Amino acid sequence: MRILCSGGSGFIGSHTVELLVASGHEVMVVDNFSTGRLENLADVRAEIRVCDINDLRLLDMCFQEFKPDAVLHLAAQSAISTAVLNPKKDLRVNGVGTLNMVEMALKYDVRRFVFSSTSAVYEPKSTWLGVYDESQRCRPASPYGISKLAAEQYIRSTFDNHLILRYANIYGPRQYSIGENQVVARAFAHFMYGDEFKVTGHGNQKRDMVYVKDIAYANYMALMSNKTGTFNASSGKSVSVNTILSAIAENYEIPTYQWEHTNQEDPRGDVYMNASKIRREIGWKTYVSLRQGITQTALWWNGMK
């Protein structure tokens, strides 16, 4: 299969492109390298084009040249803090950029469109039985969640053969902190380089954590599947931020490390995501435990010295 992947040099994208190429697929990466890194694809035999998804002329040339069978749209503005400070930029990338990708996919008769969305489209602290479920009404509280939900709606209304993945919290090698919402990357940067990091509130708020290689496989299965619709890409198990940080501290043999905390509590509270639909209909589930994933992530950070 010929797959065009936007944002393919980034954290999630590079792991996914590696898997796709290793599985025998032809891949073109379209990326403006605003956050992605060329070294992430150093050992991958993929075509790489420097292109912003809001540059329709260049984007059209990429589609025309490659003639993809499927599109994996990962390019995004993913920092919640950036979205709050500059919502127009956030909407331009996540909303208009997605419309551009759909427009090109329709123009060049692409058969399959897979999109990476987020749990931020759900309404914080207002879940059905305490769990984010794909069938419930979405009322995002942040500009980031609003722009991603708008992108979902554009895709649903224009491209029939689509699949939308609402990611849980993803972590792993090649993740650098963008804004203030990547707790694992920020905690490792604190240990490695002394970067400032404080736990939001008490740290007992829970998150559904998924290792990046598991998400890469979810992207792969979404592309290969004949299913359509919206799916939570999550483990279905949530752990506290304190538990996550303890696992990181144990890798540095400081299990009782005293993390600093802010006085402001986390407005999102606990996040629980129902993972039953994707297991049932796509056959995907997570395989890497939090402890295993943190260990692999630590090895990568240690190699960055």
Q: Give catalytic residues, as residue numbers.
A: 144
| Angle of CA points 52, 56, 61, to nearest 5° | 90
Name the DSSP class of 165: E
d(C-alpha 258, C-alpha 9), whole Å: 35
CA-nearest of 80, 294, 82 to 191 is 294
Residue 163 has φ and ψ, to the nearest 5°, of -140, 130
Q: Angle between the 56-66 and 97-107 helix axes, to the nearest 10 degrees?
A: 40
CA-nearest of 257, 247, 275 to 183 is 247
Edge to edge, what strands does the sheet with 47-50 contain? 47-50, 26-31, 2-6, 70-73, 112-118, 162-167, 229-233
Please answer whether residues 270 and 205 qualify as being in contact, where contact means their C-beta atoms are separated by less than 8 angstroms. Answer: yes
d(C-alpha 85, C-alpha 100), whole Å: 24
Please answer whether residues 143 and 163 qualify as being in contact, where contact means their C-beta atoms are separated by less than 8 angstroms. Answer: no
| N-to-C CA span, the chain | 38
d(C-alpha 285, C-alpha 152), whole Å: 23
